């Protein structure tokens, strides 16, 4: 598989830092030619560009003469993409922030972590990457529109607002019931229920939840059958899974089930969970590390990797695309 | 309709988050999105009861659906009814773009796979979202948001070094990140089609998109320095953490990107502090002790007030907002993150906009449809059915 080369022949001026890097990566991966520029681009560069990506604080953009008003006046077809912590509006326009601070103010950070400790950030740049995806989307919407009108425009994305957009369930429970969904360790909260979803294995961890209804029934029955097969204590035996509802299961029943599942998973290995999941459809997924991912036959079969040389010349495997182009054959 | 995709026609088979958010973006951007729905397999967000205002008996009283399906039209159609193609085929002829998020293979079984669509409409653009992608040995496996987190390494690397990993976002991630790649790829493919008349098929995998977010961990592992869980630390900034504030479960996040930031922070606190170089050289135990000392200072202050004070001194800081604080956040209000819209059943409330501002062709958020609200209108104006035939089909169950 490979990235769809839908932007071949187009040029991107990349003036961005860490906040704008993901969207510039995406435009390049879709076939655009990326030119990195430190500071302000030349008038020729600006006039020739199809996209400009930056993440300057608004005051710096003004100093450099790179406000969207100026750039789009210099090149009427230019799509100017800004990815900033908070956007150009008051009151936070001059506030500083990165992954952690934007996540904190968005409400997302508060939903991650154990109840007895501080909220904890998601791995690496989760919110910045999400904002990069949103900026890519906005740039492509503007790209389509430019094809119709011949005109470019400014696409403004704030990491803070994009991170906030993940809070849908939390927003609506506050809007309608004045309830707050707070962090709950390795559980997932569904309405009033907190359901465990991360389990220790003999050599790692896996993700698994008992899902309600038609979606979960076969997977839940498969887990129960596996527990029986190895002679584990199994309170799941004989449960009518079509009638099971994760939101209304009595707490003491859930506690007993989770004790048994916990004891069972502790005796299983990553390799066993992977093999049984593929064979039985358990909806249990190994929490993979980098080596697992790099060795995954599924990703290899899809051609997900390309070889890159690091600055010191070391060859590494890196993802080849963000989305791929399918084939009718 | 206005917006960057004004005039674009989208046939939407989404029933889960990945597809629904994709077509929300497109619909808010001005595309005419016809969401094909059925009561036998309704959109997940039409059935999950999360608030008191919702009931299991109605498909139209879920705010979850309302947030994620703004600006669309709804066609209720029984895909097993013998005559359903009388409506569906004209819609395929009408559409520029088809979006779906079934398990791979399902669209083929429905006679709606890319090969079949392309045979009828060589210029059609199709976007498919799934957990594993359309090909490969695991493609037929299903999963949920946490599946993508586990597969990609996000799960294993979120949390504290001395405890098991935590759920990486009690709010979804892959489910809401992938749609932006799908919508972006769709718009780019539509632009190519406008120029060349050629369609294409986009295969978007949540697993792969999440691995892209985790790419630095893959590089580090291949350099012999595999990453491990590290709480709130980040090797690419000088120092950061989350610290207690006055009140119950109140916290502040502070990032000092470099030595200048660190010097500003310690000057504001006062007293003797290690130099930036000393901080950069600290091991985990020394950093824990440093964080303890910073927390002893922050705990006397209110979260938002301290954040404002630090920001005034040029230091990146923010209260760890809960949802009440976030909804009241002045910056999110200034950006119009929630758009007040009248809902047919639930009344007026703030709906999430698609979080981006386009200067010349802004996106517009309009209310989500009731199930089948536009069935008759679409059948008549797009499929060309007569009012009598529509009435007959309503009786024989095609619109269920």
Residue A212 confidence class, pLDDT cut points 50, 70, 90: confident
Cis peptide before B8 (omega within 30 of 0): no
Residue A44 distance to chain B (closest CA, Å): 24
Give the pLDDT score at A329. Answer: 67
Which of A37-41, A130-134, A224-228, B351-355 has the weakest average pLDDT?
Answer: A37-41
In chain A, residues with a C-beta closer than 8 Å to the C-beta of B345 are none
- How would residue B170 be classed by pLDDT, with cut points 50, 70 and 90? low
Q: Which residue of B has its CA nearest to A309?
A: B219
Please say if the pLDDT value at position A182 is more than 90.
no
Regarding beta strands A315-319 and A324-325, do their DSSP bridges make them parallel or antiparallel, or are they unpaired?
unpaired
Mean pLDDT of chain B: 96
Chain B residues inside the 8 Å CB shell of A204: 156
Check CB contact under 8 Å for A118 and B356.
no
pLDDT > 80? residue B377: yes
pLDDT at position A229, please? Answer: 95
Summarize the confidence of residues A221-236 as an average pLDDT: 97
Selecting from B150, B226, B255 the residue whose C-beta is nearest the C-beta of A285 gives B150
Alpha carbons B398 and B77: distance in angstroms, whole number: 6
Consecutive H or E run containing A160: helix A159-164
Separation in Å, CA of B387 to nearest CA in chain A: 36
Residue B107 near residue B128 (C-beta atoms within 8 A): yes
Quick check: B153 pLDDT over 90? yes
- Interface with chain A: mutation pick from B8, B154, B167, highest number of A CBs within 10 Å: B167
Provide the Cα torsion B285, B215, A203, A259; round to 10°. Answer: 90
B338 and chain A: CB distance < 8 Å anywhere? yes
Task: Provide the pLDDT confidence category of residue B41 given band limits of 50, 70 and 90.
Answer: confident
Q: Taking Cα atoms as reference points, which of A207, A264, A223, A218 lies closest to residue A241? A: A218
pLDDT at A191: 64
Contact A104 B318 (CB under 8 A): yes
Closest residue of A to B211, CA-based? A319
Taking contacts as CB-CB distances below 8 angstroms, the residues of chain B near A137 are 25, 180-181, 183-184, 187, 356
B227 shares contact with chain A (CB less than 8 Å): yes
Contact B358 A103 (CB under 8 A): no
Cβ atoms < 10 Å from Cβ of B198: 11
ipTM of the predicted structure?
Answer: 0.98
Please return the burial class of B235, using the count of CB atoms within 10 Å of its CB with bins 0-12, 13-18 and 19+. Answer: exposed
The answer, yes or no, to whether residue B330 has pLDDT greater than 70, is yes
Confidence of residue B175 (pLDDT cuts 50, 70, 90): very high
Q: Mind giving me the DSSP string for B74-118?
A: EEE--TTSTTTHHHHHHHHHH-SEEEE-SPTTHHHHTT-SHHHHH
Q: CB atoms < 10 A from the CB of B89, how many?
A: 12
Looking at the predicted structure, is the pLDDT value of residue A188 above 90? no
Chain A residues in contact with B7 by the CB 8 A cut-off are: 148
Nearest by CB to residue B167, choosing from A186, A299, A318, is A186
Mean pLDDT, rounded, for A217-224: 96
The residue of chain B with its CA nearest to that of A22 is B213
- Which among B68, B144, B217 has the least Cβ separation from residue A168? B68
Q: Answer whether B362's CB lies under 8 Å from B3's CB.
A: yes
Within chain B, where are the H helices? 17-28, 44-47, 63-68, 85-94, 106-109, 114-120, 145-152, 174-196, 206-213, 215-222, 259-269, 276-280, 284-298, 303-312, 323-327, 330-334, 375-381, 387-396
Residue B219 has pLDDT above 70, yes or no: yes
**Smallest CA–CA separation between A45 and chain B, in Å?**
22
* Set of chain B residues whose Cβ sits within 8 Å of the Cβ of A326: 114, 126, 128, 134-135, 200-203
- Residue A131's pLDDT is 98
Burial of B364 by CB count in 10 Å (0-12 exposed, 13-18 middle, 19+ buried)?
middle
Contact state of A154 with B157 under an 8 Å Cβ cutoff: no
At A284, list the tokens.
């249990």
Q: Is the pLDDT of residue B171 over 80?
A: no
């Amino acid at each position: 598989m490979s990235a769809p080369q839908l932007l071949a022949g187009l040029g991107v001026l990349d003036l961005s830092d860490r906040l704008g890097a993901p969207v510039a990566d995406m435009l390049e991966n879709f076939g655009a030619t990326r030119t990195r520029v430190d500071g302000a681009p030349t008038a020729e560069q600006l006039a020739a560009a199809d996209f400009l990506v930056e993440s300057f604080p608004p005051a710096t953009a003004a100093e450099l003469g790179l406000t969207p008003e100026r750039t789009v006046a210099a090149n009427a077809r230019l799509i100017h993409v800004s990815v900033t912590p908070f956007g150009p509006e008051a009151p936070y326009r001059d506030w500083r922030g990165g992954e952690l601070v934007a996540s904190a103010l968005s409400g997302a950070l508060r939903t991650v972590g154990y109840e007895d400790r501080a909220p904890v950030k998601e791995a690496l740049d989760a919110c910045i990457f999400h904002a990069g995806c949103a900026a890519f989307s906005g740039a492509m919407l503007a790209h389509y529109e430019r094809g119709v009108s011949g005109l470019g425009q400014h696409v403004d994305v704030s990491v803070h607002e994009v991170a906030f957009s993940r809070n849908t369930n939390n927003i609506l429970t506050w809007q309608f019931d004045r309830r707050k969904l707070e962090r709950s360790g390795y559980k997932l909260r569904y309405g009033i229920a907190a359901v465990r979803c991360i389990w220790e294995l003999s050599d790692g961890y896996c993700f698994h939840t008992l899902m309600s209804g038609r979606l979960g029934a076969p997977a839940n029955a498969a887990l129960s059958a596996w527990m029986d097969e190895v002679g584990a204590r199994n309170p799941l035996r004989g449960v009518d899974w079509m009638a099971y509802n994760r939101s209304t299961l009595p707490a003491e029943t859930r506690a007993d089930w989770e004790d048994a599942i916990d004891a069972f998973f502790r005796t299983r290995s990553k390799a066993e969970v992977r093999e049984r999941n593929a064979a039985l459809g358990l909806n249990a997924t190994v929490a993979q590390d980098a080596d697992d991912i790099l060795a995954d036959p599924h990703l290899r079969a899809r051609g997900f990797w390309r070889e890159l040389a690091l600055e010191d010349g070391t060859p590494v495997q890196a993802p080849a695309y963000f989305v791929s182009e399918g084939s009718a054959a | 309709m206005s917006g960057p995709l004004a005039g674009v026609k989208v046939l939407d088979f989404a029933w889960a988050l990945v597809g629904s958010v994709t077509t929300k973006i497109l619909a808010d951007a001005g595309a005419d999105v016809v969401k094909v729905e059925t009561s036998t397999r309704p959109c997940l967000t039409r059935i999950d009861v999360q608030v008191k205002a919702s009931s299991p008996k109605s498909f139209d009283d879920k705010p979850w659906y309302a947030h994620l399906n703004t600006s669309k039209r709804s066609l209720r159609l029984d895909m097993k009814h013998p005559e359903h193609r009388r409506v569906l085929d004209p819609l395929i002829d009408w559409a520029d773009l088809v979006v779906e998020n079934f398990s791979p293979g399902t669209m083929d079984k429905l006679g709606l796979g890319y090969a079949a669509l392309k045979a009828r409409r060589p210029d059609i653009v199709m976007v498919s979202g799934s957990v594993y992608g359309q090909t490969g040995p695991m493609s037929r496996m299903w999963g949920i948001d946490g599946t993508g987190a586990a597969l990609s390494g996000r799960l294993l690397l979120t949390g504290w070094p001395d405890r098991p990993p935590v759920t990486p976002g009690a709010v979804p991630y892959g489910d809401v990140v992938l749609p932006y790649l799908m919508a972006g790829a769709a718009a780019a493919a539509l632009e190519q089609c406008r120029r060349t008349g050629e369609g294409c098929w986009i295969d978007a995998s949540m697993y792969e998109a999440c691995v892209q977010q985790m790419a630095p961990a893959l590089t580090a592992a291949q350099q012999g320095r595999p990453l491990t869980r590290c709480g709130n630390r980040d090797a690419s900034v000088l120092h950061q953490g989350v610290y207690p504030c006055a009140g119950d479960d109140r916290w502040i996040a502070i990032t000092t990107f470099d030595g200048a930031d660190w010097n500003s922070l310690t000057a504001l606190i006062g007293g003797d502090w290690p130099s930036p170089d000393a901080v950069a050289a600290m091991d985990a135990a020394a950093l824990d002790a440093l964080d303890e000392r910073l927390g002893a200072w922050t705990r006397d202050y209110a979260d938002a007030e301290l954040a404002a004070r630090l920001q005034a001194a040029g230091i990146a800081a923010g209260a760890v907002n809960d949802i009440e604080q976030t909804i009241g956040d002045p910056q999110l209000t200034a950006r119009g993150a929630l758009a007040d819209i009248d809902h047919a059943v639930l009344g007026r409330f703030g709906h999430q906009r698609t979080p981006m501002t386009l200067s010349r062709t802004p996106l517009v958020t309009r209310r989500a449809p009731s199930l089948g609200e536009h069935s008759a209108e679409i059948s008549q104006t797009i499929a060309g059915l007569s009012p009598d035939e529509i009435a007959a089909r309503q009786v024989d169950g095609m619109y269920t």
